[in-house]
A = this chain, B = another copy of it.
Amino acid sequence: MAAEALHIRSAVDRNQRILLARRPSGLPAPEDFATDTTAIPTPGPGQFLARTIYLSLDPYYCDLMQDPAGSLLPGDLMPGETVSQILESRHPDYRPGEYVLTRNGWQQYALSSGQGVRRLDPAVAPISTALGVLGIPGLAGYAGIVYIGTPRPGETVVVSAATGPVGCTAGQVARLVGARPVGIAGTDEKCAYAVEELGYADCINYKRPDFAAELRRACPDGIDVYFDNVGGEILATVLACLAPKARIVLCGTMDSYRSVSPLPGPTLRPLISARATMTGLVVDDYLDRLPVLVRVVGAWIQSGQFRYREDVTDGLENAPAAFCRLMRGENFGKALVRVGPEHLGTPATASRTGQGGR
């Protein structure tokens, strides 16, 4: 079959890409990335071409970049989840103009066979949420609270990285099932936002010298559930405040990215005295529950009970700096790069007819 197409690219357009230049030792730096351009590929039978709108920046890319086994080699395209729009399709199930969740990686255009692709309906929620609270990060927060932490009404649920897409989902789900969420974040501004916008009962800045005392004050009955996004010193401080039979969800270890060799963990004796349980969460185990997340949290978003924040950087060329900022914890909300506009039509090359094709 012939390709259907949105007529939006000129013959001179090229595909800008960002590659791994070298393996970082510790936190990544802009020099660890390189840029190139290639021709925009043409879809073969069963494929479609999509343009990247939003590129998701996620800490786990750092694992791949640092992996000594070579998951990612210098010269490789940086991988990543993206929200894209289909431009040309020779795939029977996808039409030009449709919005899809793809893994285009750090580039402007990519082909897809449709595998692992999820169609997005802009009427349900803004398409960017498919990379955040209604996507994998939201699913991690939701599954960690609902399936592992299982807070009872009134129990104290502490969430680190409280304002990010994982943490804000964990904290708000905890609140909406009747628990008392207490956040941990790295700036006073984030803490204020957590309480005022996200509905945390309290939020403690872990960079303050009295962090341990403040956390204890905010959790007078001890911590029943801890959703851990960071590991390290913060985890050690939380362990000292556990309530009996506490549940700890180990979701991320931001702390560990600072060093290529594994950092030691906290002393585990408080885990024994509290008879606590610590469980590792890998979000892949819950992918079949994504529709539940979209239905439950989607409704809360529409009713105004659930909020989220995005930290959007414009331009693919700025993705390396934005990623380094994320890894330093300087983002505020879900880190996204806007690679292209949500709606085509303003540029002279765009065709309104094509848009109507969806």
User: A residues touching B (Cβ–Cβ < 8 Å)?
Assistant: 231, 235, 250-253, 256, 262-269, 271-282, 285
Q: Are A267 and B267 in contact (CB under 8 A)?
A: no
- Residues of the B chain whose Cβ atoms lie less than 8 Å from the Cβ of A278: 268, 271, 277-279
Q: Are A264 and B264 in contact (CB under 8 A)?
A: yes
Say how far A258's CB is from chain B's closest CB, in angstroms: 12
Q: Are B267 and A272 in contact (CB under 8 A)?
A: no
Q: Are A272 and B264 in contact (CB under 8 A)?
A: no
Q: Are A264 and B266 in contact (CB under 8 A)?
A: yes
- Residues of the B chain whose Cβ atoms lie less than 8 Å from the Cβ of A265: 264-268
Partner of A251, one of B251, B256, B272: B272
Q: Are A282 and B277 in contact (CB under 8 A)?
A: no
> Residue of B at shortest CB range from A235?
B268
CA distance A285 to B272 in the complex (A): 12
CA distance A280 to B285 in the complex (A): 24
- Residues of the B chain whose Cβ atoms lie less than 8 Å from the Cβ of A250: 268, 271-272
Q: Are B272 and A253 in contact (CB under 8 A)?
A: yes
CA distance A272 to B282 in the complex (A): 7
- Residues of the B chain whose Cβ atoms lie less than 8 Å from the Cβ of A273: 280, 282
A-B contact pairs, 12 of them (CB 8 A): A250-B268, A250-B271, A253-B268, A253-B269, A262-B269, A265-B265, A265-B266, A265-B268, A271-B279, A273-B280, A273-B282, A277-B280
> Residue of B at shortest CB range from A250?
B272
- Identify the 5 closest CB pairs spanning chains A and B, nearest first: A264-B264, A272-B280, A262-B267, A265-B265, A271-B280
Q: Are A264 and B267 in contact (CB under 8 A)?
A: yes
- Residues of the B chain whose Cβ atoms lie less than 8 Å from the Cβ of A267: 256, 262-265
> Residue of B at shortest CB range from A282?
B275
Say how far A117's CB is from chain B's closest CB, in angstroms: 26
CA distance A221 to B20 in the complex (A): 35
